[in-house]
Amino acid sequence: MVASIATSAFFPASSGKSPLSKSANGSGETVKAVNFSTTPAAPSQSSRAKSAIEAVSKVEGYAAIEPDKVAPPLPSTPAPRTIYNQLPDVSFWLATVMAIVIAAADRHFTLPDWRPKRPDMLSDAFSFGKIVQDGLVFKQNFLIRSYEIGADQTASIETLMNHLQETALNHVRSAGLLGDGFGCTPEMTKRNLIWVVSKMQVLVDHYPIWGDIVEVETWVGSHGKNGMRRDWHIRDYNSGQTILRATSLWVMMNKLTRKLAKIPEEVRDEIRPYFFERMAIVDEDNRKFPKLEELNGNSAEKHLRKGLTPRWGDLDVNQHVNNVKYIGWILESAPMAMLEKHELAGMTLEYRRECGKDSVVQSHTTVYSDCTNSARQDSASIHCEHQLSLESGANIVKARTAWRPKQGQNKGIVGTVSTAHA
């Protein structure tokens, strides 16, 4: 009841009397009604509160509080500090961000060019690659990484050969000719056909070092009635200097029967628009490779390495040994003294048959020096004849390599090697 009276004091009614309760002694005597109706000169809140308290001396057995003992009203305090009322007003920033997003969506907003201006800081040098020269040549850049260099602090021949293989496959994919197979066109996939390399020739001018950027160009052309030609040209990205040139011949094989097959007209129609009749190597090495018996019958220095077996990581998706692995096996039988003082300047490889995961391979190397004086052989050019064969005697790869002294990073292409001892 006290609450209702106090409420009436703060929110007075327009007319009427307020009900009264019993006196403090419980006799039932009533207190005269006090009219709390508003007056023209309304007192303050504190005075109205005191008047209400004075009107009730004793209510419900409790003594009324004396008017002069009423505490003054507490000063108003701000709302308690919470995480919500302390957050800044972000409406301005939200509106700014929305304006930027809308402008960008309407292509009215141009982002600043964040790419470095220095030519040696290439933000887009290692992209997937692109097709140039009217869609006939594929170009891709590679960075020579620390794990791709050898004891000479230069990139290995296997590294450069892997770049050739990578650009060839990316060329097929960029041209839109990649079917379900690895480097196969859609029509080849329908017929279970795959490409296999039959011959390759490589000429190395010099070897890049760690951190160099190489630019690889590749293109394809026709070769006879049942083959295709693929060429490469590797240059230094910054100087444009030639690093390596290579050419290769490819034929088709049935993936199921593992036998050579003719190129169907449907496949020829797919690849013919991409033929580019340009040769990376004009003077090709077309000399016949000697037989192993002929190599064993002469007095040249011979080296043999037996028991070479492919690892699982040496197989490609067609379940035969990767072409680059053959080069490593060829060098397994090369003499260490030659590897320490000479570098590979050129090689020609002829692939005879595929090698599977259960094959055991022998590596034969016959070394010929262009100098008969043994004291000057370290500074003379060397060429070698190589053969990889199965333990049964069947030939896998025949190869011919040319070597030059390592003195001072010699420049210049070693072309067709001497045939005096071939």
Q: What does residue 341 show for φ and ψ, rounded to 5 degrees? A: -115, -5
Residue 232: beta bridge partners? 218, 246
Phi/psi of residue 401, each to 5°?
Answer: -125, 150
Give the C-alpha separation, 202 to 344, whole Å.
10
Residue 318 annotated as catalytic: yes
Catalytic one of 318, 322, 364, 384: 318
**Can you tell me whether residue 162 is helix, strand or coil?**
helix
Measure the CA–CA gap between 124 and 128, rounded to whole angstroms: 9
Residue 40's φ and ψ, nearest 5 degrees, are -55, -40
Contact assessment for residue 301 and residue 366, using Cβ atoms and an 8 Å cutoff: yes
Residue 301 CA to residue 413 CA, distance in Å, equals 25
User: Is 184 tagged catalytic?
Assistant: no
List the catalytic residue out of 163, 233, 320, 342: 320
Contact 360, 310 (CB under 8 A): no
Euclidean distance between CA atoms 177 and 184, whole angstroms: 7
Known active-site residue 371:
no
- Catalytic member of 355, 364, 383, 386: 355
* Number of other CB atoms surrounding residue 376 within 10 Å: 10
Q: How many helices (H) and strands (E) does the chain have?
A: 9, 14
Catalytic residues: 318, 320, 355
